[in-house]
Amino acid sequence: MEEKLAEAAHAGRGRPRSFDPDVVIDAALALFWARGYDATKFEDVTAVTGVNASSLYAAFGNKRGLFQAAMDRYRTLVGVALEVLVAGDEGVADVARFVEWVRAGIVSDEQPSGCLVVNTMVELASTDTELAAVVRQYREDVRNSLRTALARAEHVGDIEPGTGDQRALLVQASLFGALVTGRSGAIDEADSMLHSLLDEVRGWHTAR
């Protein structure tokens, strides 16, 4: 079946696209995020978007190509929040706002549970070296953004000098743990975990 669709896609590559790739990527992002990679089929995307499978193959190559496009879109969206964290000017308060942003996403009814990249880490990273590299870069992006904010916290006297890196690791581990917990369906537990983390973070500058 996949070979026939790929052949049809190759034959039609000279034709102009009759759909918006961004709309397809957004739909695929929602499906992969909600269901996971293995449980999401091309047929699911065609059902949601109305774009036939041969057109999807022509645009994205295969399911993996579509998944990569969805992952890139997701990382761009999270990147906006990381940019805000890095560009802040309050140190600890900036980290607390980032944690609150993650918490709001976990308890929201308007998006799937967990984090697409963290979900992928659990589902595929141990068996897929290419995706493992993407996940590793994402972890580094989150950790480095937290480090930048906490280095600022050191500079303004919110926390003790030399403690920012370890605190960044603590926050990242707590966030990822809560995201995995939320993905399992234990939303209330994940919410409680992040409330505890917020109490911890907000208490850092008052402990000085």
Half-sphere exposure of 27 (CA within 13 A, CB side): 18
Q: Give the model's pLDDT for residue 17.
A: 58
Label residue 208 by pLDDT band (50, 70, 90).
low
- Cβ distance 12 to 58 under 8 Å? yes
Q: Give the model's pLDDT for residue 13.
A: 47
The model's pLDDT over 60-104, given as tens digits with 9 standing for 90+, comes to 999 999 999 999 999 999 999 999 999 999 999 999 999 999 999
Q: Please determine, for residue 35, whether its predicted confidence score (pLDDT) is greater than 60.
A: yes
The model's pLDDT over 147-190, given as tens digits with 9 standing for 90+, comes to 999 999 999 999 999 999 999 999 999 999 999 999 999 999 99
12-28 mean pLDDT? 76
Distance of alpha carbon 36 from the chain centroid:
13
Q: Give the model's pLDDT for residue 206.
A: 59
List the one residue out of 138, 100, 103 whose CA is nearest residue 119.
138
Q: Give the model's pLDDT for residue 4.
A: 39
- Cβ distance 169 to 143 under 8 Å? yes
Label residue 19 by pLDDT band (50, 70, 90).
confident
List the one residue out of 202, 82, 90 whose CA is nearest residue 154.
90
List the one residue out of 187, 41, 37, 30 whose CA is nearest residue 119.
37
pLDDT mean across residues, the chain:
90
Residue whose tokens read 């505890």:
196
Q: Give the model's pLDDT for residue 125.
A: 86
Q: Please determine, for residue 192, whether its predicted confidence score (pLDDT) is greater than 60.
A: yes
Q: Please determine, for residue 16, whether its predicted confidence score (pLDDT) is greater than 50.
A: no
Half-sphere exposure of 168 (CA within 13 A, CB side): 23
The model's pLDDT over 119-155, given as tens digits with 9 standing for 90+, comes to 999 999 888 899 999 999 999 999 999 999 999 999 9
CA distances, 169 to each of 140, 146, 176 (Å): 10, 8, 11
Q: Give the model's pLDDT for residue 7.
A: 44
